[in-house]
Amino acid sequence: MIKPSRQRLIYSWYVFWSLLVVIGIYLGLWQWERAEDKRLAIATRENAVAMTQPAEQPAQGAQITLSGEYLPEHTLFLDNRTLNGHVGVAVLTPLRDNNGQLWLIQRGFLDTGGDRKPPQVATPSGSVTLMGEWQEAQAGGPLYGENREGIRLQQLSLDPWNVSLGAFSYSGWVHASQGDGILIPWWKANTMPPSRHIGYALQWWGLAIAALITMVIGGQKLRHDDRR
């Protein structure tokens, strides 16, 4: 007969390793789903059509051309950007196109170094034309404090303009790469290939199998030692 203390030890052993198996399987499935999502995102970007003065929500990754006027008094700066070893900000300026639609334009990188003074940037007046890639609005990472500090933002978001301008015409922004008032392009879409997520999934499943083997062999040894 197995002693109660021994029974608890065996029970705890199986519970602990079972949890590791479940966690490994779950994380493997999560990485597999991320690979599928990445395949879909890449296909969507590759198949996105070029659009000029769109009158509807652009597809993710669409190359769009806009003509209109910047609203420089509403410019804000995305803080803590880096490019080729330089520290700076990304310039965010709303644009009202010739059809009256309101867009948020990410105009490129502005080198500020370690200077924490309010950034300044020249903005063309009058009619402008620019081209860039459309990115749908998405949730940012964790924030430590308020997103907006003066005219600097910690995360790219449409919310800081809600009071002063109201809602933008579409939920997203243009990462401009050419045209009037465009600075140094710095933004690139997340390019981690699906194969890397599949590799992570296989690693997690391998760990789950190793945990399962350890659980079975170790459990048998515990029972064998108890019988002895």
The answer on 138 and 220 residing in a single domain is no
Q: Is residue 36 part of a domain?
A: yes
Tally the domains of the chain: 2
Predicted pLDDT at 115? 79
The answer on 69 and 173 residing in a single domain is yes
Q: Is residue 51 part of a domain?
A: no
Contact 69, 130 (CB under 8 A): no
What tokens does 66 get? 């806009």
Contact 197, 32 (CB under 8 A): yes
Predicted pLDDT at 19? 93
Task: Tell me the pLDDT tens digit for each residue of 97-108.
Answer: 999 999 999 999
Q: Is residue 47 part of a domain?
A: no
Q: Is residue 187 part of a domain?
A: no
Predicted pLDDT at 12? 87
The answer on 83 and 13 residing in a single domain is no
The answer on 157 and 78 residing in a single domain is yes
The answer on 173 and 102 residing in a single domain is yes
Domain with 103 in it: 62-179
The answer on 78 and 171 residing in a single domain is yes
Predicted pLDDT at 144? 74
- Which residues in the chain come in under a pLDDT of 70? 1-5, 140, 191, 225-228
Question: pTM score, two decimals?
Answer: 0.72
